[in-house]
Structure 1
Amino acid sequence: MSENSILLIEDNFDDRFLLKKFLSTSGLNNWKIKEAVKLAEAIECLEKNTPGAILLDLSLPDSYGEDSFYQVKRNAPKSPIIILTGMADLSMAKRLIQKGAQDYIVKGEYNPRLLEKSIEYAIERHKLKFENDRNREKLLDSVLEAQDTERVRIAKELHDGVVQSLTVVSLSLGLLRSAIHKFDSRQRAQYEKCTENLSVTIDEIRNISHSLMPRSIAEMSLSEAIEGLMEDLEDSSEITFEFITNLDQEPEESLKLTIFRIVQELSTNAIKHSKANNMMVQLIDYPDHIYLMTEDDGIGFDKSEILESKNCFGLHSIESRVNSHGGLIEIDTRPGKGTNIFTSFYKGKKG
Structure 2
Amino acid sequence: MRLENKILNMLVVEDNPGDYALVKEYLQMSNLPPGKTIHADSMASATNLIKENNFDIALLDLSLPDSSGIDSVITLNRLLPQTPIVVFSGLSDVEVAMEAISLGAQDYLVKGEFDEKLLGKIVHYSIERKRMVEKLRQSNDRYEFVNKATLDTIWEWWFNTNSGMWGEGIVTTFGYTDAELNYSNEWMRKYIHPEDRERVRTRLNEHIKSRRQHWQDEFRFCCADGSYKDVYDRGYILYNEKGVAERMIGAMTDITEKRKLENELAKKELTQQKLITEVTIQAQEKQRNELGKELHDNINQVLATIKMFLGLSLEREGSRKELIDKSLHNVNYAIEEIRKLSKSLVAPSLGDIGLAEALQELVEEMNLAKKTEVEFINQLDDKYTIDKNMELMFYRIAQEQLNNIRKYSKASKAIIALKTSSDSIMFSIVDNGVGFDLATRAQGIGLKNISSRVDFYSGTMKISTAPGQGCRIQISIPL
- Name the TM tier (shorter chain): 0.3 to 0.5
More helix by share: 1
Structure with larger Rg: 2
Higher RCO structure (Cα 8 Å, ≥6 apart): 1
**Structure-1-length-normalised TM-score:** 0.48
